[in-house]
Structure 1
């Protein structure tokens, strides 16, 4: 007899950034009560302490689906590489299978081309280090409006090209609807990522119109915007990916509300949109 098919809600993971100012312990406990996974961020982990955070999720029986974040490789100093090695070590201790990477923007004395070269060089050093620790580096393409200051990687295709020299278990990509929905080649990109075994993380957020003044914190709650989120879920599932589906919302209005309330609202929106 075949195993029963998992519902989308069985795969729900709450990225802690969705309720940024919610106590990490309370967020983990909410995930434990509902059987949800959690995406952790380095700052709250460091505030609680790495070992204490690892004990918290282990004792609660909560799956850590990702750790955010590493990257910012366009910093030309050696310190950037060492900081990423530290982040990889933290992911390993937490049991996070992936470390999400945001590549970084354009240095003052550089160009977008030299910035991308810097990402290639950093990955060449960090990929084997991550592989030895059982962590996959997940390159996250960001919407091109962030190319100058946050991320010179804007499409799944670019991310896959950067990942290509490395084994899939060492370097993969993030499929984040908020950042890639505009790309006319996105479906081909998802198919390629699946064929290469490189879908390391699947994240949902919606795109609302008009964008808030602070575009960095303007991600919409699921179902509030224009992205066909159900199509993304069906497309990614059709590739054979059956891992967690993580919701990551940067939104000032959400951050101003109680974390427990945001958590329940997000689960309800997830259930409604992906039902």
Structure 2
């Protein structure tokens, strides 16, 4: 089992170059690279070759590009933009050795029938699967636990991935999102763990279902999410994907980046200690 750092955790107090140095120093195995801001920022002063060389000469490796956003139920222009962006991710990801692209469903105030959401997701993910296959990169769908996300529970996301039925299409299980819209425990208990590619670990304050937003996240183990139940179920199912700490807490952005990265690791290791041995350096 490996430990990963998601760049959202230092979104406002760091950059990719600094995150890489600090995560290497503190013994993380992987990083999730934010493609909407942190990677373009890095490429203003560096090259992809430099980034690839860093990964080739250091312990830390790139787990995922985060993220291909709003991939489903788009108009024709939006759909074509998603396909173009994904193809670019494949080329860049191959050069860097990225294992996954995280795909986030559409968040909107528009109403779509659930059957139309599922059809769109399945159709697009099937096409993305075909594109990704020769690159050896997998697609990890991350449902978002908010009422305005078209795919907002574990069960809904799992059904979509199961219908796609491709080995290179699976899920991100984010503990915050699982809790935030009251995902069904039975859906997790009945799931095939091989379809869960990445676990995002985090915690949250005690707000009602449907009211939680990312800024309510807390260090793992310091909130009300039943992390023990999630981890025990995954352990029983022999889940072996990476555990990635992802927080969006404004107070944490006011800290020094190194302190954020250090505490994120310490709280994560403590939260998972009874279930997984994260063999960090």
Separation in 2 of the partners of 1:169 and 1:91?
18
Partner of 1:143, secondary structure, is: coil
Corresponding residue for residue 269 of structure 1? 267
What is the correspondence of 1:138-153 to structure 2 with a 5 Å cutoff? 138-145=140-147, 148=148, 151-153=149-151
Aligned residues of 2:143 and 2:177 also touching (Cα < 8 A): yes
Separation in 1 of the partners of 2:182 and 2:8?
25
Aligned residues of 2:34 and 2:67 also touching (Cα < 8 A): yes
Moved more, 171-180 or 78-87: 78-87
Corresponding residue for residue 189 of structure 1? 188
> Per-residue deviation at 1:255?
1.6
Unmatched runs of 5 consecutive residues or more in structure 2 = 274-281
Query: Does 2:7 correspond to 1:16?
Result: yes
Q: Greater relative contact order: 1 or 2 (C-alpha under 8 angstroms, separation 6 or more)?
A: 2
Partner of 1:201, secondary structure, is: strand
> Per-residue deviation at 1:141?
1.2
Corresponding residue for residue 70 of structure 1? 68
Corresponding residue for residue 248 of structure 2? 250
Partner of 1:13, secondary structure, is: strand
Match of 2:17 among 18, 21, 25: 25
Corresponding residue for residue 7 of structure 1? none
> Per-residue deviation at 1:107?
7.2
> Per-residue deviation at 1:257?
1.8
Which deviations, in whole Å up to 9, do the C-alpha atoms of 1:55-97 show, x marking residues without a partner? 2222222122222001312332211221122223333332221
Moved more, 180-189 or 12-21: 180-189
**Root-mean-square deviation (CA), in Å?**
2.4
Match of 1:234 among 232, 235, 257: 232
Match of 2:41 among 35, 40, 47: 47
Corresponding residue for residue 100 of structure 2? 98
> Per-residue deviation at 1:214?
8.5
Corresponding residue for residue 4 of structure 1? none
Corresponding residue for residue 112 of structure 2? 111
Partner of 1:104, secondary structure, is: coil
Aligned residues of 1:173 and 1:199 also touching (Cα < 8 A): yes
Separation in 1 of the partners of 2:237 and 2:117?
32
> Per-residue deviation at 1:111?
2.1
Separation in 1 of the partners of 2:165 and 2:122?
14
